[in-house]
Structure 1
């Protein structure tokens, strides 16, 4: 009994922010790392980026051959400097490196939210938990790794340094944020414009953020119009997927300016025509409403910061990006965590602040739980609901697959199923099956998802390789097939 009392007393001495960090670190690991162990991470994008870590750690460019037929600098697909910074850690954490980075970044972002509101401990803790438990965070963790999560996790610190009026730290943070994906500078430009509105009466800070926003826009255009096309194999930026607005960025901007009513209708409608997407945008708006976005009407500068986020999501060709799944809502996280609770902080009485913060937090957590238990497009409950038993189960025994991994030399060229490739990407060459090329080994999990093939073709492919005289069967079990080139 005394040991329990002593433990409880020790826990009470720990600042609440670190207890919150510990709780959510465990939750994040249970979502992200369990998915990886049970082969619910994929060649696109964790396998691809893990292979880039290997290349960068050996001081060489990544050629994208993991998923592309012809070699092409990965920076031509996504202009991302962060991967280079993480690359040394691949020697420590192996295939889990980027998942470790992602969880660490999110925890660091929550600490930034706490520090922003630190003069009111209850409000600070509530905003921190809101950040950690936001549905966009859980959705992102349930599907691989993406540097947009890291960028969103760093944004709260820009608000912190602004509030503390640390100019040099603000400049450094803006530059660091630029180094994320190529679309990050566009978002950062609008964050800067929003901050300039908040600081309009302070001419020095207002002018600084107007200039920072303009520089962000210029950098964004240079990367998209000059640098990336020169790195891409076909000389074209590969991710302008907004055909409903026109065939180019300039055409899209022109359409938005000349046809505002039509653009608004497109933004809220299912212009794709896919019946599966009929309610996708409605669900997004409902989730954001229950997460408190309506309160930003009292602080419209934060809505300015979300303009490119809404545009990039709701005008995209793919309905998958419109909704609440994957990593496509992560940018809402820091803006709502800071903006919504700043509105609450404006309430006069401390009791009102506590009630308001509690109501927002409970509402947001309820909608996150709803996201956890409702399947979304291609992501079933098993990938996100860490409270469900099925999250920790696999349709087959994974141990034979891990045993087969041990038979593949570290320097061998491998072709593997998409969801096995992240575990094998720490090498010079690896391909997402059915690409084989010069592979020395092929490994397939017979009962797992056959993407990009359908199941019937996948089973035919397995039989073909089992009978092929060109390949030696090292392992041929119920769960896994491992072949070596003769």
Structure 2
């Protein structure tokens, strides 16, 4: 057999083993330019919508200290000579706090791309410039998705569908709308890297690989896997090995030299997320010596499996019959998915559950791998169709003469093209379905709302204007991004309480404290803890009230502390302390009669003669309501006929169809600051509960009645369900859906169907 025949056979075997020769170019036909125009239109729409949306979120105080405030402060400080200086951290739930003096951001993440990004602040020194940059870069990733799919599938329309798939992919939209993060830029950078790798354009291959690595310290591991992949599947020994070596050196230098150098602990500040005090070595030891337990903990555990589903399912999945798991379309190309293993490991091995929630920015670098693997999965389907039809031909069936009802004669190429097109339509449908149901960020997604600033949020500007530009501030998480253009800005309670910050930093406490007690309580997860912390700061005496209105508190260090009022609630509960605050502080609870929802009249009677009327309500929960992942709120409207002497609390509960009552919440934070005995007679008060769920309620599936009761604030958690302590009530006027259970003194507001 001649050498030429052997060479042809080897080339054929190489191609069939999924090795990637240099692609044959496609002519740029009219269809190509039409599709390019449609993609450009989609990119422009994407940019206009999400730049506007993220800007509106910021103006509506819906951005966060972590991480938008952190990123903005670090970049702004860099543009003002304080290179990558950060001072924002989570003292309650993370390991990223160093000292009130702050730290260089390289102690947490190695993101040298922030240096050129900081130049934008010379053009427009506004945090929203980061949203403009992030959205624009992410949107441009639609082009390499199109180019790569077009070359692999040899079809402009199929290639264009992948550009739209990329723009709609839930993990990409989650990253784009999760404040600003440098790693989000890798959704586009890595797609350009994969495209230039496939087309063997070495210079641009390295340019975008370096841009990707500059976005976060773990990305070099992804780039190294891409380089090794190029060696194995493209036989590009020099460029592939050179890139892999560069990436590995970059990773080692970043994580073992640069980050420890800038960290006050000698280790990257977030390294505690991996193996605790034992570090990553402990994880490696567990993987080697206890592999079964390791897999059960980090792979087959329910939340980790749910994470894999959340990331891969939008690209298409088929539940296996009779249970036993799910098959994901990208898994047809495991040689592509393997490039995403470093990113999956970083998320799944972390002790921070947000990293494997399927939300936020943590999956940005996985999106390009998923897009590429889905493209290859469709090629596998095409190959399987061709193999199957060839098998039929060997059995005497003329594959070229297969006829379908109402159609023309088909050959194997047409049949496989139709099948691939149908699969791609299914993938797009799966993506849109996930966007609709799973915390989607499209305008048609469940719960999507355009951000709008209320009068209360607009009032924050008045308080921020009272803080000098060179003063240090500790603020609530939603306020931090609006104050982060300064050297030192902290997220409350850091740099305020020496028991948290450290007594050695008593002389470095923040100059000002700005809080909205009606707003977000992060980094606390239960409002009593947050309220106790705020009141402890007031009681400690280091800060006095500079201004207070509508739930806002502006404190200044060195002013006389507010006077403490006698307690009338739970004497041992620090959250029950009251202070002599300016009268306007509680103005946020008072509303006009026209704002009352679902009007009714239900009178509650106190033992000391106090009388209150519930005159409206609004249940912020849908029916059916999920016990596992449903969230709700309850807003109530009250009119005080006669002020009682004792403070009251609101008990939210559910009455099941079995007649039993189930505790839901008493978390109505306004009552901790503006108790019922201080309300103005004749006024209308609006109370809104903190968001609640039913995960700890114990209620079974079925019909339940959302109910409320009033009882003295003195009732502790152990006696909160005591029926005898509840205030008697009488319905004066109410719709038929509202009724009183006199035996439990509870007002049943509306029925809910409880489901899993």
**How would you bin the TM-score normalised by the shorter chain?**
0.7 to 0.9
* Cross-structure match for 1:303: 337
Q: Which is further off, 234-243 or 305-314?
A: 234-243
1:411 and 2:470 are equivalent in the alignment: yes
Q: Helix, strand or coil for the counterpart of 1:238?
A: coil
Q: Which has the higher strand share?
A: 2
Change (3 A) 1:243 1:113: closer
Deviation at 1:31, TM superposition (A): 4.8
2-side partners of 1:199 and 1:32: how far apart? 41
Q: How do 1:342-353 and structure 2 match up within 5 A?
A: 342-344=376-378, 347=382, 348-349=413-414, 350-353=417-420
2-side partners of 1:385 and 1:246: how far apart? 45
Deviation at 1:150, TM superposition (A): 1.1
1:313 and 2:347 are equivalent in the alignment: yes
Deviation at 1:447, TM superposition (A): 0.9
Match of 2:127 among 80, 91, 95: 95
2-side partners of 1:369 and 1:386: how far apart? 4
1:54 and 2:76 are equivalent in the alignment: yes
Deviation at 1:73, TM superposition (A): 2.1
2-side partners of 1:369 and 1:257: how far apart? 41
1:23 and 2:82 are equivalent in the alignment: no
Q: Is the 8 A contact 1:28 1:103 kept in 2?
A: yes
* Cross-structure match for 1:247: 278
1-side partners of 2:490 and 2:300: how far apart? 38
Match of 2:201 among 166, 180, 202: 166
* Cross-structure match for 2:479: 420
* Cross-structure match for 2:313: 289
Match of 1:128 among 158, 163, 166: 163
* Cross-structure match for 2:520: 449
1-side partners of 2:538 and 2:430: how far apart? 54
* Cross-structure match for 1:85: 116
* Cross-structure match for 2:502: none
1-side partners of 2:523 and 2:310: how far apart? 32
Change (3 A) 1:195 1:357: farther
2-side partners of 1:121 and 1:13: how far apart? 7
Q: Which is further off, 211-220 or 224-233?
A: 211-220
Q: Helix, strand or coil for the counterpart of 1:305?
A: helix
Deviation at 1:427, TM superposition (A): 1.6
* Cross-structure match for 1:8: none
Deviation at 1:236, TM superposition (A): 1.6
- Cα distance per residue 1:111-150 (max 9 Å; x no partner): 2212323453322221112112111122223432222211
1:73 and 2:104 are equivalent in the alignment: yes
Q: Which has the higher helix share?
A: 1
TM-score by length of 2: 0.55
Q: Is the 8 A contact 2:78 2:85 kept in 1?
A: no
Match of 1:324 among 341, 344, 358: 358
Change (3 A) 1:415 1:357: same
RMSD of equivalent CA atoms: 3.2
Q: How do 1:329-478 and structure 2 match up within 5 A?
A: 329-344=363-378, 347=382, 348-349=413-414, 350-372=417-439, 388=447, 390=449, 392=451, 397-434=456-493, 435-436=495-496, 437-453=508-524, 454-459=526-531, 473=545, 475-478=547-550
Q: Gaps spanning 5+ residues in structure 1: where?
A: 1-11, 271-277, 374-380
Q: Which is further off, 304-313 or 457-466?
A: 457-466
Q: Is the 8 A contact 2:339 2:369 kept in 1?
A: yes
Q: Is the 8 A contact 2:65 2:480 kept in 1?
A: yes
Q: Is the 8 A contact 1:95 1:424 kept in 2?
A: no
1:109 and 2:141 are equivalent in the alignment: yes
2-side partners of 1:385 and 1:34: how far apart? 18
Deviation at 1:182, TM superposition (A): 1.1
1-side partners of 2:475 and 2:273: how far apart? 32
Q: Helix, strand or coil for the counterpart of 2:193?
A: helix
Deviation at 1:400, TM superposition (A): 0.6
Change (3 A) 1:363 1:447: same
Change (3 A) 1:283 1:212: closer
Higher relative contact order, structure no. (Cα contacts within 8 Å, ≥ 6 residues apart): 1
Change (3 A) 1:467 1:386: farther
Q: Helix, strand or coil for the counterpart of 1:247?
A: helix
Q: Which is further off, 471-480 or 428-437?
A: 471-480
Q: Is the 8 A contact 1:281 1:323 kept in 2?
A: no
2-side partners of 1:389 and 1:211: how far apart? 46
Query: Which structure has the greater CA radius of gyration?
Result: 2
* Cross-structure match for 2:401: none
